[in-house]
Amino acid sequence: MGLVKQRNQRLDKGHETIKVFLKDVKQWSSCAALATFVLLTATQARSVKRRIRATDYIGSWLVKSHQKVYLQEYGSFNEAVRGYDGVFHVAASMEFGFQLQKDTLPHEEEERQSLKEEVKKLLADTPDDSLHKLDLIEAIQRLGVGYHFVTEIENSLKYVYDTYSERCGKQDTDLRTIALRFRLLRQQGYNVSSDVFNKFKDHKGDFDESLISNVQGLLNLYEAAQLRVHGEETLEEALKFSTSQLNSLLLHVSTSQSARIKDALEMPIRKTVTRLGARKFISIYQEDESQNEILLNFAKLDFNLLQKMHQKELSNVTRWWKALDNENKLPFARDRLVECYFWALGVYFEPQYASGRKMITKVIAMLVIVDDIFDVYGTPDELVLFVDAIERWDFGVIDQLPAYMQHCYKALLDVYVEIEEELGKTKNSSLVHYVIEETKRLSRSYYQEAKWVYSGYIPTLEEYLKVGKITCTYIVLSAAAFAGIGELVSKEAFEWITSYPSIQQGSEIICRLMNDMAGFGKTSAVECYMNQNKGATKEEAFAKLQELVTDAWKDINEECLHPTAVPAPKTLLLEIIENYARVAHLVYKYIDNFTKSDNLKDVITCLLVQPVTTP
């Protein structure tokens, strides 16, 4: 509590505020006892949580306008995924997590290579003009092993695209095949026309009711519609029709089909984190009567070997995190390292990007602390010093900061020095400049939000989003992810991403608005919309924001089909930004799973703890 006492001495003794002890809150059994504990005398009190204002109160409880008290909203700020309530065995040198699996054995790697060659032969032997080839490509991609066969898949889909018109003639009337072909091509960046689905409409222009018994066709139509862009009315109608029909089929199909429909409606392929999708699809595919045993065994082995690698990476980055001793030096800050690594894993999971995952994890972890300083702990005067220090980006200014900020500031700069050193291995060290500049912009934006709250000003939705898209951190994280791909990245790539292309803005909108809707109860886009549109309900605000999220996905889809301005490697850069949107869609789908991270336990367990059962 030394830091708390130091900061108390710097505040006006006559300031009437509230002191919230998050760490000990659960020891108090009643609201009355808690209120007695936190309501201190005027000479002792101060504000830890800047969003709780002394002018807003109900009885003895100080609260945020139109919101729950902070303790009720968040509980203990440090209830992170770490430990998982004792689910994981803890290694002697680690205090969270899992029992590391044994290193990959030579025979396991040999088996993986052997199975890989068999799958490659299977791809080569399957005619490009067959439905079986489309099914095989889809299975390979959804099982998470597509990264092994990038060239083979590209060549096959190019052939499918080149012959697309002749294959989608009047004689081609199988909805499942047409929708699958359409989705695979659009995923690959081919701008094929959605007019191909008009043949499934009746004389009134509606989708034919005869399709309602075609479960596989409806599922594929639903997934295809996720790749729609602005103005594609046919796909809008397809989405509405397929969603309605699939919901109505839930009680009239087999248990396995019902489960598959629920999964699709919950999280369509387009919005699914690749690694998590692979884990789920392995279970589905092994129950499929048409499954290929070689491909299935390869996918299982590959998943488990990657999991071992990911466990080691998390173990290594945890040593760095624990060495910072934030638990003692920054006790107010969230401890979210496991979640930060999960975010990085969602961006790219492949072996060649191990360094990138380390970079992203460390950057996110430090930005969480920076956010908490602006959001939770820093006083207005301290925040001015902090913003200025970040603008100057110089170890020499550390002594001008309060002790707790010194610790954070040094650790932040150290992380970026490490990024610079990694880039230096490919003679690209100067490119760290782009990541630093976006971090400075982020700091200024955090401060703008802080000024709004201190002044009691509620911005318009447009004002808020201009700043909020930056404070979602995705521009910094995209730049960090670009840095993580090593020699593949170029100056042109950083200039492109920092020009804020529509795909980047779309990803930011998805993260910002889904976060705000999931965490409603603090200053957010929801509050801004309701204030701007007097009389609007929360439900109306959510509906409007969901429209913006839907449009953002269309922006992402659009740019993937017209990537002319994207520098090389186009596919990888676009995928990085898409994957950030996918992670946000998962984490913030219903509630803020990053802050209330117990809800991510099952997801992280299946990706980082439990291996897939193999023969």
CB atoms < 10 A from the CB of 565, how many?
10
- Which tens digits make up the pLDDT trace of 37-81? 333 322 233 333 333 322 222 222 222 222 223 323 333 344 444
Q: Are 373 and 402 in contact (CB under 8 A)?
A: no
Q: Locate 452 and state its tokens.
A: 């709004």
125, pLDDT greater than 70? yes
- Please, how many CA atoms are within 13 Å of residue 131, restricted to the half-sphere of its CB? 10
pLDDT in tens, 369-422: 999 999 989 999 999 999 999 999 999 999 999 999 999 999 999 999 999 999
What digits encode the pLDDT tens for the residues 334-356? Answer: 999 999 999 999 999 999 999 99
Q: Which of 32, 74, 33, 36 is nearest to 52 (CA)?
A: 74
Q: Which of 486, 508, 505 has the alpha carbon at shortest distance from 496?
A: 505
Backbone phi, psi, residue 559, to 5°: -70, -30
Q: Are 214 and 175 in contact (CB under 8 A)?
A: yes
Query: Tokens 């932040």 appear where?
Result: 412
Residue 496: per-residue pLDDT: 97
- Number of Cβ within 10 Å of residue 614's Cβ equals 12
Residues 217 and 179: beta-carbon distance below 8 Å: yes
Residues sharing a CB contact under 8 Å with residue 26, sequence separation 6 or more, in sequence order: 75, 76
Per the CB < 8 A criterion, the answer to whether 387 and 443 are in contact is yes
Report the Cα 450 to chain-centroid distance in Å. 24
| Contact (CB, 8 A) for 321 and 368 | no
Q: Can you count the helices (H) and strands (E) in the chain?
A: 27, 2
22: left (phi over 0), alpha (psi -120 to 50) or beta: alpha
Residue 214 binned pLDDT confidence (cut-offs 50, 70, 90)? very high
44 CB-contact burial (10 Å; exposed 0-12 / middle 13-18 / buried 19+):
exposed
Q: How much is the average pLDDT of 537-544?
A: 96
Q: Which helix (H) or strand (E) holds 57?
A: strand 57-58
Residue 597, token pair as written in the block:
């991270």
572-588 tens-digit pLDDT:
999 999 999 999 999 99
pLDDT of residue 100: 58
Q: Where are the alpha helices (DSSP H) in 425-490?
A: 432-455, 461-471, 474-483
Return the closest-CA partner of residue 19 out of 555, 323, 426, 377. Answer: 377
Backbone angles phi, psi at 156, to 5 degrees: -65, -45
Report the pLDDT value the prediction gives residue 520, as an integer from 0 to 100.
63
User: pLDDT tens for residues 144-189?
Assistant: 999 999 999 999 999 999 999 888 766 688 999 999 999 999 999 9
Q: Where does the pLDDT of residue 106 fall: very low under 50, low under 70, confident under 90, or very high at 90 and above?
A: confident
Residue 437: which residues within 8 A CB-CB, separation 6 or more?
498
Q: What share of the chain is helix, strand, coil (3-state, %, to 5)?
A: 65, 0, 30
Could you please report the per-residue DSSP string of 154-193? HHHHHHHHHTHHHHTSTT---HHHHHHHHHHHHHTT----
- The Cα 426–Cα 419 span in angstroms is 12
Cα–Cα distance between 314 and 322 in angstroms, integer? 12
| Digit-coded pLDDT (tens) for 285-338 | 999 999 999 999 999 999 999 999 999 999 999 999 999 999 999 999 999 999
Contact 310, 608 (CB under 8 A): yes
Reduced 3-state DSSP string for 99-114:
CCCCCCCHHHHHHHHH
Question: What mean pLDDT, rounded, does the chain reach?
Answer: 85
Q: Are 230 and 187 in contact (CB under 8 A)?
A: no
Share of the chain above pLDDT 90, in %: 75
Q: Say what the pTM is.
A: 0.85
Q: Which of 75-89, 223-237, 248-262, 284-298 has the lowest mean pLDDT?
A: 75-89
553 touches 506 (CB < 8 A): yes
What pLDDT sits at residue 298?
98
Structural domains in the chain?
2-76 (no CATH), 127-291 (1.50.10.130), 298-608 (1.10.600.10)
User: How many residues does this entry show for the chain?
Assistant: 615
More confident of the two residues 367 and 519: 367
Dihedral class, residue 421 (left if φ above 0, else alpha if ψ from -120 to 50, else beta): alpha
Continuous H helices in 13-167: 31-38, 70-74, 106-125, 131-142, 150-162, 164-167
Instruction: Tell me how far apart the alpha carbons of residues 257 and 215 are, in angstroms, rounded to a whole number.
Output: 8
Q: What is the pLDDT of residue 71?
A: 29
Burial of 173 from C-beta contacts in 10 A (0-12 / 13-18 / 19+): exposed
Q: What is the pLDDT of residue 593?
A: 56
Q: What is the rounded end-to-end Cα distance, in angstroms, of the chain?
A: 54
Distances (CA, A) of 546 to 67, 435, 510, 512, 516: 21, 30, 9, 11, 11
